[in-house]
Amino acid sequence: MTSFDEVGLLVISFDEIGFLMTSTDEVDFLVTSSHEVGLLVTSADEISFLVTFVDEVGLLVTSANEVSLLKTSADKVSILMISYDEVDFDEVDLLMTSSDKVGLLVTFADEVGLLMTSYDEIGFSMISIDEVGLLVTFGVRSAS
């Protein structure tokens, strides 16, 4: 487990790890890159910029609260879960989720100004939206 408090710039890159948990509080810029990871959990609170790249991950969970820009890109992921809570357009510029060959994609958004979800070859997808200003969803070959 990696925990950070009031960090200006944080970059995490890992390859072939069984479990990784990252918890951040008041971080300006966070980049997480992973390859062949069994379980990846990222929790972000009051972050200006958060980017997560994953390749061949068994389970990815991203939770963001009061984040200015959040981008999650997943390739060959079995389960991808993203939760946004109490985010509005004044505080958030863009929430973007891009996934390719994902078994299960779950996106929860509450009070989000702009939410974009793009997926290709997903077995099951569920999007739960509450008080979203603009929602854009792209789906190709989705079985849902």
Residue 130 lies in a domain: yes
Least confident of 3-17, 18-32, 90-104, 113-127: 3-17
Among 3-12, 49-58, 80-89, name the most confident range: 49-58
Residue 60 lies in a domain: yes
Residue 51 lies in a domain: yes
Residue 30 lies in a domain: yes
List the one residue out of 46, 110, 111, 44 whose CA is nearest residue 72. Answer: 44
What DSSP line would sit under 19-86, residue for residue? EEEEEEES-SEEEEEEES-SEEEEEEES-SEEEEEEES-SEEEEEEES-SEEEEEEES-SEEEEEEES
Residue 45 lies in a domain: yes
What percent of the chain shows pLDDT beyond 90? 0
The model's pLDDT over 87-134, given as tens digits with 9 standing for 90+, comes to 543 444 455 666 667 666 666 666 666 566 666 666 656 565 555 555
The pLDDT value recorded for residue 93 is 44
Residue 144 lies in a domain: no
Query: Mean of the pLDDT values across residues 43-70?
Result: 66
Residue 6 lies in a domain: yes
Q: Which domain holds residue 57?
A: 2-139
Query: Mean of the pLDDT values across residues 63-85?
Result: 64
- Split into its structural domains, the chain has a count of 1
Whole-structure pTM value: 0.47
Select the more confidently predicted residue: 74 or 113: 74
Residue 80 lies in a domain: yes
